[in-house]
Structure formats: C-alpha cells, structure tokens
Amino acid sequence: MRKLGIGLIGTGFMGKSHAMAWRAAASFSGEIQPVLVSVADINGEAAENAASQFGFQRWATRWQDLIEDPEIDVISITSPNRFHAEQSLAAIAAGKHVHCEKPLAPNGEIAEQMYRAAEKAGVITQVGFNYIKNPLLKRAKQMIADGELGDITGFRGIHAEDFMTSPQVPWSWRLDPSGGAGAVADLGSHILGMARFMLGPISEIFADLDTVVKARPESAGATQLKAVEVDDIARLTVKFARGCAGQIEANWVASGHKMQLGFEITGTRGSLIFNQERFNELQWYQAGDREDLNGFRTIVAGPEHAPYNLFCPAAGHQIGFNDLKTIEMLEFIQSIASGKAAGPDFKEAYEIQRLVDAALVSSRERSWIRL
C-alpha cells in the first residue's frame, strides 16, 4: 500500500477539521494511505497538543520544516489568508501536492501565479470549497445538466453569518486588507464557487460593497479602535455565460444566521432550493404538477447519493460538516492517484478570485465589469 505523507500547517478550527478528515479518509482511500507525519503552528504548545490529539508523528513551530521534510508528500494549509501564497508556492517548489483553504490569495494576480506554478511543477492542488462536495449538490448539478429544470432563468444565492455582527468583535486577520477583501472574499467565495459549480462561468458582475462597522477594538477588551478597511456586506448582480442572471449576497453581520449558505435556481420546468443549515435536504419543484399537488418536494440525502453511502447505509440519518471535509480529502487523494485534479483546484480558485476582484472594482467604480 502506497503511503501519502501529510503535513498540516495550522491548528485552529480548520486545522482540526483537516486532521480529522485526513484520518477518516484513510478508511476509504484504497491503495493510497494518508499518514499524518507532522503538524506546524507558531504556537509550540498548540502544535504539540494537535500532534498528540490527532496522531501526527511529530510537530514543529516553523512551517518551513514541513516543506523540507522528505517524508511529506502533501502540504495541507489552514493558516491565515495572508500566508497562503508564500506557503503554497514553497510547497510547490518542493514538488509537494497542496491543499489550501480559501481564499487562495489576496488577489487574482497572485492566485494566477500560484495555479501556473502548480501546473508547471506538475503537482495536484485543491482548495477548501468543501460545501460543494455535498452529495445532494452533485445530484442537483446533474439534474440541471439533464434538463430536469428546463432552461435556467435565474439564480439567487447567499452566504450569511453573524459572527462579525457585534461592534465589540475585535480586529483580526479576517479584516487585514493585506490578506484580501472582507465578506466578499471570505463568505462570498463560497457562494460564488457554488454558483459556478451549479451553472458555470459568470461573465459580468455589478457589485455594491458596504462596511457596516467602521472600526473595531484592536484586541479583545481593548478601548483603542482600529479602522476597518474591508467590506461587511457584498451585494452582487451577476450574469452567467449560459445566458441567465442572478443576485448573490455575502454578509457576515447578518444577525441570527449561523450558516445561511444557499441558493434558489429557477428554470422553465422547475426549481431547486438549498440551504446549508439543512444540507441533507434538497427542495425540488416540477412545473406541470397537478394543481392540487403543487409545491416543492423534499429530496432527502441517502446512500443512493454517493458517497453518502460511505458514511451511513440509511437515508435521512444525515452526514455532517466534517464528513464533507472527508469527502473533499478523499477526492484529493484520488486526484493524486490518477494524476488529474478533480477540483476545485488552484485554477478554479483563481477564477473565483477574479470575481472577487471584479466585485471590488465594480463597487468602487459603480459600473458593470465584464470578465
């Protein structure tokens, strides 16, 4: 059995999710077996604890140690956004495959450098848009491709959460403009990627970006305030290359919403509705139903929606967030085995970043931007 050495950078929420996903994926990965070799964090205690908790063979305080480690084949990056480019490019230069969390880079120019470097080096890449790994979203995409919705007439998408609602939430790496934009990059990249996954390329965009909380405490409990230079809410009107149009919102000050990532897709023969807060369900409406039986029906995730069957043999029992991450890592392993990216890879992340960049220009210039 071929061993695939994993090096993880970062031990926060997403770092823990990666570690659990790599371990779980090993149960399904067949001839290629991921092995947790080393974890790095600038906080040595956090790195040591993560190594002990998840079974890494060793730990480090320098991420460069993982790049230089000959036993590591894959670098899994969960560090703050501003470090993604440097760490990814170093891993690529060392000939290692790279999984990096989103957003890939602070802007499209750097994202393009990253994906072209990976292509030149011949390494496989993947970016952490794990929500589109949902078996029901793959089914929805197939329904659209099969014409079950007819001609697509509209898309309404949103990713709204409330973790930045309070003005007392301190300034953090999420608000650092050197790492890119605000909500439009952090949350918007997910719904933009989901829109592309379902309906294909977006050809034009008009954006209105708004900073609701103008300044935040420099640190937790501090009285000194620091100006916020990125957006809290992004409202986008988009046109798809396939001919339809839609609206998209990214909002991290949406009071009461914990994970409102979802969409409604309308077509001449039917519609689909999805909400990540109930992501084991897909709502489907078929035009032409009897008048006394009209309305949406619920498709419940089950073993017939691969790879749900890897986790549970019965419909309706539900998979969770970390299961989506496991599917993501499993598909990445399969990509490495085949030598062909399954996506979303660095190229797709670059395309999504182009949309984020276009939104920033559009909002500033108050104009449509054609891609």
Phi, psi of 278 (to 5 degrees): -135, 60
CB 184 within 8 A of CB 356: yes
In this prediction, residue 52 carries a pLDDT of: 98
Q: Which residues in the chain belong to E strands, given as ranges? A: 2-9, 32-40, 58-60, 74-77, 97-100, 125-127, 152-160, 202-210, 215-217, 225-227, 233-240, 245-251, 260-267, 270-275, 281-286, 297-300, 369-370
In this prediction, residue 53 carries a pLDDT of: 97
| Residue 327 tokens, joined | 């599917």
For CATH 3.40.50.720, the residue range(s) in the chain are: 2-130
For CATH 3.30.360.10, the residue range(s) in the chain are: 134-342+349-365
Rounded Cα gap, residues 141 and 195, in angstroms? 10
In this prediction, residue 294 carries a pLDDT of: 82
CA distances from 119 to 97, 116, 340, 349 (A): 11, 5, 11, 14
CA distances from 181 to 79, 248, 287, 351 (A): 16, 16, 40, 15
Partners of 9 in the β-ladder: 40, 77
In this prediction, residue 342 carries a pLDDT of: 84
Rounded Cα gap, residues 286 and 289, in angstroms? 6
In this prediction, residue 216 carries a pLDDT of: 97
Nearest to 253 by CA among 166, 156, 356: 166
CA distances from 346 to 117, 128, 134, 210, 286 (A): 10, 10, 20, 28, 36
Pick the CATH number of 2-130 from 3.40.50.720, 1.20.210.10, 4.10.640.10, 3.40.50.300: 3.40.50.720
In this prediction, residue 364 carries a pLDDT of: 97
Architecture category of domain 134-342+349-365 in CATH: 2-Layer Sandwich (3.30)
In order along its 371 residues, the chain shows pLDDT tens digits of 799 999 999 999 999 999 999 999 998 988 899 999 999 999 999 999 999 999 999 999 999 999 999 999 999 999 998 899 999 999 999 999 999 999 999 999 999 999 999 999 999 999 999 999 999 999 999 999 999 999 999 999 999 999 999 999 999 999 999 888 999 999 999 999 999 999 999 999 999 999 999 999 999 999 999 999 999 999 999 999 999 999 999 999 999 999 999 999 999 999 999 999 999 999 999 998 777 778 999 999 999 999 999 999 999 999 999 999 999 999 999 999 999 988 899 999 999 999 999 999 999 999 999 99
Calculated CA dihedral for residues 23, 27, 30, 31, nearest 10 degrees:
50
Q: The whole model's pTM is what?
A: 0.95
Strand, helix or coil for residue 235 = strand
CA distances from 64 to 20, 41, 170 (A): 23, 11, 30
| Residue 353 tokens, joined | 């970043």
Rounded Cα gap, residues 104 and 55, in angstroms? 27
CB 77 within 8 A of CB 87: yes
